[in-house]
Structure 1
Amino acid sequence: MAVSVKAWQTLTWSTLESWTGSRTIQRGEDYQKQGRVRKLVLCGDGSIIATVQGTESYITRVSLNTKKRSGVQLSSYCSCPVGYDCKHGVATVLKMIADCEAGKRPPSISDTDVRFEHLQDDNTTPAPKPSSGASKKQRTTDKQIREYLADESKENLIDRLMKCCSAEPSIRRTLADEVTIASGHFDKLLAEAYKEMRKLTAEEAWYDAWDGEGELPDYSGLQKRMTTLLAAGHADELVKLGKELMTRGTDQVNRGHDDGSVCGQLCECMETVAKAIRKSSLTDEQRLLVAFDLSLDDDYDLAASVAELFQSKWPKSAWSSAADELIVRLHSLPAKTDPHGFVSPNRQREQTGSMAIHALRACGRDEEAREISVAEALTCGSFMRAVKELMDDGFDAEAEELAFRGLRETDLQFRGIIHHLQELIGELASKRKEWKIPAAIAAEDFFESPSVDGFEKLLQASNKAKCKAVTETAARRFLETGKRPDLDRNQMRRTKATKAWPLPRAPLGQDADQPVSETRHDRGPHYDVLIGLSIKNSSPDETLRLYDTANANSSDSRFHSARIDRLSVAKSVEKSHPERAIEIYLREALSVAAQTNTKTYPLVGNHLKKVKTLLFQNNRQAEWENILADFKTKHGRKPRLMEVIDRIDRDRIASSMSKR
């Protein structure tokens, strides 16, 4: 059953907010006020289609589902870069409501509306049905069109096709490329492809999602041209073009500030290159090496489809030959060291080594793979990879020895590598059921970066080590005082296990025997974590006690007070202490409003809605009017903020529009 026009008129701001969010609503409202929505039509199923002027003209379709148990639900599809549930959809909805309120019912979509065809081209979006008031004819099918054309003369078909070329440049371009190839002028088409590729990659790509403005290169023409070249059997030339496209495209993405559109387009072009590699005259070994070269330093996964070639089945001889070549390359690359003589990762060598090891494994040369892995760890610091390789092959003792060496030889600036090596050592200890080692590692992580998640991981690990109670007591004391229980307070060095602290020292790096900086760890109470734990344990009284204590001592623990999630505190005490929740929400609303940032005004509305809900639930309606009056007195000169506040009491969009 089609959605009625009245259903659109009864929509609320709350429904829009749950659909797209406050910021998108604000942008969509701007577009609607600026008159950017044109040619609004109603479809037979009750959905609406419009053309919205943004950076370009975009076609937008919005559907309304009133059958959902959870309430009314909106959804939209748009030809803009965002694609779904965007500001253009919001603008279309607001235009629909505004027209209805003005007594202007939108016309029904006609069967010949070109936007109908445009939306139908996207196979992920069902085409809207024409309104019952439109033509009663059935939609013409592809089969009917084919049968109709079959009866036409050759001359008429040529005339029709030439008209299509005039109306749609992309059709003319595709046919022109085919003519060029058919006439034997392949070099000309290839030169045009290179010229277009270099022109596109030289453009500056940028897109401002807030304003909806930007300049983005369009690779669709190049992609079609590459497909034409591939279909004509010129795979080898496409592979060469792909190498240059990868270099130039990566540089363009590095320079750009877009929404990922350029990456997506380049990925589609590289998919054609991946197909070209398979169809090229290269040997299997060369195909693997070309795929590796294209995947090297691919920070944006532009060549993801090319890298998938490594997962395909290739002859062992091809893998073996590729491995030999990669090993030669590997040994020609420098092994970087830092000024102190410690090895540090060399990315290109790391990637080449990983591919060489993969190739060796694929052809059954496992022992060589292990040898290279260990050698690279000692030469270039690739300890994580080598330890995992040894563990996978069952060489646990050798893996553990290498992991400890990695801790000693990895510079402290590479904290991530050190952390992963510690985790691998903990995994090896767990295999032997030496549970205190992974517990000690969890403790070190927790002390270095206190968090609710880290606290829970520590308790889980200490439970396996049968020392949960003592560990929990010590860990909570650390959160309350900031003093680590595993340190000798005189020398500030990590101690061995004691009655107060049952865990051994964690496997550490070069700083294992160095004093721990007191200023680094004695940072006062970690109120943010304590409050997070009390919320998780559903202890509202304790949550408020900690919250009040943190605020009272904010000067002594400024950093941790700033990290307190005040909105989570308010939400956790809404039922038990509604007056405190109201106080916190109101305080946050005032704080955000004082920033004079139009982009954050929707947050003020969110906070005030919660204040209103709690006040009405607790029979304190009169206070709401006073709060609104106070806000309008303080911030009356901020029209955008006033619009947000006005919506709270006039949730129905149509009624708030009438007040404009």
Structure 2
Amino acid sequence: MAVVLEALPHSSLPSAEQLIWVIDHLLEDDYSLLEAGEKLLESPQYGEQDWQMAARSLQVLLNSEGAPGASRRYQRLRLVGRLQVAYARGGWHERILPMLEREANVCWNYEQLVDALLAAGERERARQWCIQGYAKTVQEARGIAECMREKLHMLALTEGQYDLACAYRAERFFSQPSLAAFSELREAAEQADKWGAVRAAALAFLETGLPPDLGDDAQVLPRWPLPPSELAHLHGTSKPSVQRFPELDLLISIAILEQRHDDVVALYRRLPKTPSWNWDTEKRVAEAVAASHPDIALAIWRAIADGLIAKVQPSAYVEAAGYLRRMRQVYQACQRDDEWQALMVHLRKTHKAKRRLQEVLDNLSGAKLV
């Protein structure tokens, strides 16, 4: 195909038909294999009239397709994108917005439509299409819906409506709580000068599972300081599943982020005492509180090291040495070298039959503290 594309501009095929041939094949390329075809479309040898003929061909193709189901929506979206480019390069800019608006509820090209409206200075129309696009896609295409919410957030931000911009960040946090969403919420709330009340409500939500204004007792949750977003009437504030709460892992991550080490330890002690397959939360806790609560860190690293040694694998012994090395650093920082030596003696006696482990312990004991 690369050879054909290279020869195409030099063929006897009229320029407009060359364009149409390349675009047709690009529309059939589901794996983005025809990069040379994309480059060919950039060639200055194709003028406005060529692109207008290509646009007419694409419009006929678009009109011939019926309403797409979910499986065909992506293909129609690609066709709409090609037609938008053809209109622009053919000088038919006035046709772009009407076409995108006709297609919005058909192929869900809301992002392209909103971007085009904003580029044309049509902020209010863009806002309304964001709301409509969110309502249309929130159940079936969460990614598109989140894109619409993000654009509404940016509109509010650029208009200086910091409370409203923060409300969109809050919606995202309460619907999909994560450390990244919490950090975004903090940035927006600080800009709106509402972080104290917003933070209290967010932490209460992670404990109870109740978003603001959903509590039966108004005194249970902090007063919510933000206005409803322009999407609030579409999805309400549904109550999340109580089985997920309290979100101890996320509460711990936030406490680590805020360097509230006493709270990190208190939350860690509330975790279910069940074996962890990767010790991810425990590792983060140990690293965070090694200086402020050394015994907690030592206990975590000891448990991880013991678990690795129990695998009876040379690679696991080496990995265990990494956690033992962390323990040695804490013991020495706390001037508790005798406890470190006692641990080494205990491990040697307990696992005296594990020759490869003994070698690892020899290297660990003889290494200088870095």
TM-score (norm 2): 0.81
In 2: Cα distance, 1:645 partner to 1:325 partner: 74
Q: Which amino acid aligns with 2:227?
A: P
Contact 2:289/2:297 (<8 A) preserved: yes
Residue of 209, 226, 233 corresponding to 1:503: 226
Q: Compute the displacement of 1:281 (Å).
A: 4.9
After superposition, the Cα gap between the structure-2 partners of 1:613 and 1:276, relative to the gap in structure 1 and judged at 3 Å, is: farther
Contact 1:418/1:509 (<8 A) preserved: no
The answer to whether structure 1 residue 402 and structure 2 residue 129 are counterparts is yes
Partner of 2:110: 383
Contact 1:403/1:421 (<8 A) preserved: yes
Partner of 2:326: 610
After superposition, the Cα gap between the structure-2 partners of 1:595 and 1:299, relative to the gap in structure 1 and judged at 3 Å, is: farther
Q: Compute the displacement of 1:357 (Å).
A: 0.4
The answer to whether structure 1 residue 332 and structure 2 residue 70 are counterparts is no
Residue of 352, 358, 382 corresponding to 2:85: 358
Q: Compute the displacement of 1:326 (Å).
A: 1.7
Partner of 1:18: none
After superposition, the Cα gap between the structure-2 partners of 1:568 and 1:606, relative to the gap in structure 1 and judged at 3 Å, is: same
What CA deviation, in whole Å up to 9, does each residue of 1:305-348 have, x standing for no partner?
4323344434222222222222222222332247xxxxx87011
After superposition, the Cα gap between the structure-2 partners of 1:404 and 1:325, relative to the gap in structure 1 and judged at 3 Å, is: same
Q: Compute the displacement of 1:615 (Å).
A: 3.8
Contact 2:77/2:108 (<8 A) preserved: no
Q: Compute the displacement of 1:351 (Å).
A: 0.6
In 2: Cα distance, 1:651 partner to 1:569 partner: 26
SS class of match (1:319): helix
Contact 1:296/1:351 (<8 A) preserved: yes
After superposition, the Cα gap between the structure-2 partners of 1:598 and 1:370, relative to the gap in structure 1 and judged at 3 Å, is: farther
Q: Which amino acid aligns with 2:345?
A: N
Residue of 568, 582, 587 corresponding to 2:298: 582
After superposition, the Cα gap between the structure-2 partners of 1:404 and 1:562, relative to the gap in structure 1 and judged at 3 Å, is: farther
In 1: Cα distance, 2:292 partner to 2:28 partner: 55
Partner of 2:285: 569
Alignment RMSD: 3.7
In 2: Cα distance, 1:644 partner to 1:311 partner: 61
Residue of 351, 354, 359 corresponding to 1:636: 354
Q: Which amino acid aligns with 1:535?
A: I
In 2: Cα distance, 1:383 partner to 1:571 partner: 44
The answer to whether structure 1 residue 625 and structure 2 residue 330 are counterparts is no
The answer to whether structure 1 residue 538 and structure 2 residue 270 are counterparts is no
Contact 2:197/2:223 (<8 A) preserved: yes
Residue of 309, 320, 326 corresponding to 2:52: 320
Contact 1:435/1:464 (<8 A) preserved: yes
Residue of 198, 220, 224 corresponding to 1:471: 198
Contact 2:201/2:222 (<8 A) preserved: no
Partner of 2:38: 307
In 1: Cα distance, 2:350 partner to 2:18 partner: 68
What CA deviation, in whole Å up to 9, does each residue of 1:164-223 have, x standing for no partner?
xxxxxxxxxxxxxxxxxxxxxxxxxxxxxxxxxxxxxxxxxxxxxxxxxxxxxxxxxxxx
In 2: Cα distance, 1:580 partner to 1:456 partner: 27
In 2: Cα distance, 1:562 partner to 1:517 partner: 31
The structure that has the greater radius of gyration is 1
- Decide which moves more: 369-378 or 606-615: 606-615
Contact 2:209/2:239 (<8 A) preserved: no
What CA deviation, in whole Å up to 9, does each residue of 1:142-180 have, x standing for no partner?
xxxxxxxxxxxxxxxxxxxxxxxxxxxxxxxxxxxxxxx
SS class of match (2:244): coil
In 1: Cα distance, 2:143 partner to 2:11 partner: 41
What CA deviation, in whole Å up to 9, does each residue of 1:570-621 have, x standing for no partner?
2222333333322212222233444577876654343233234434554244
Identical residues among aligned pairs (%): 27
SS class of match (2:235): coil
The answer to whether structure 1 residue 432 and structure 2 residue 150 are counterparts is no
Q: Which amino acid aligns with 1:502?
A: P
Partner of 1:516: 238
Q: Which amino acid aligns with 1:421?
A: M
Q: Compute the displacement of 1:421 (Å).
A: 1.0
Q: Compute the displacement of 1:425 (Å).
A: 1.9
TM-score (norm 1): 0.48
More helix by share: 2
What CA deviation, in whole Å up to 9, does each residue of 1:463-500 have, x standing for no partner?
3333222212211222333321232548xxxx9xx980
After superposition, the Cα gap between the structure-2 partners of 1:337 and 1:481, relative to the gap in structure 1 and judged at 3 Å, is: same
Q: Which amino acid aligns with 2:65?
A: L
The answer to whether structure 1 residue 285 and structure 2 residue 7 are counterparts is no
SS class of match (2:225): coil
For structure 2, which runs of at least 5 residues remain unmatched after alignment? none
In 2: Cα distance, 1:521 partner to 1:562 partner: 25
After superposition, the Cα gap between the structure-2 partners of 1:627 and 1:289, relative to the gap in structure 1 and judged at 3 Å, is: farther
The answer to whether structure 1 residue 527 and structure 2 residue 281 are counterparts is no
Q: Compute the displacement of 1:295 (Å).
A: 3.7
Contact 2:135/2:145 (<8 A) preserved: no
Greater relative CO, 1 or 2 (CA 8 Å, sep 6+): 1
After superposition, the Cα gap between the structure-2 partners of 1:273 and 1:529, relative to the gap in structure 1 and judged at 3 Å, is: farther
For structure 1, which runs of at least 5 residues remain unmatched after alignment? 1-241, 243-269, 339-343, 653-660
Paired residue total:
362
In 2: Cα distance, 1:476 partner to 1:424 partner: 26
In 2: Cα distance, 1:642 partner to 1:298 partner: 59
In 2: Cα distance, 1:427 partner to 1:275 partner: 43
Contact 2:214/2:239 (<8 A) preserved: no
What CA deviation, in whole Å up to 9, does each residue of 1:367-412 have, x standing for no partner?
2111111111022222222122111211111111222222232250
SS class of match (1:302): coil
Partner of 1:104: none
Q: Which amino acid aligns with 2:229?
A: A
In 2: Cα distance, 1:587 partner to 1:578 partner: 14
In 1: Cα distance, 2:212 partner to 2:177 partner: 14
Q: Which runs of structure 2 are paired with 1:46-195 in the superposition (5 Å)?
A: none
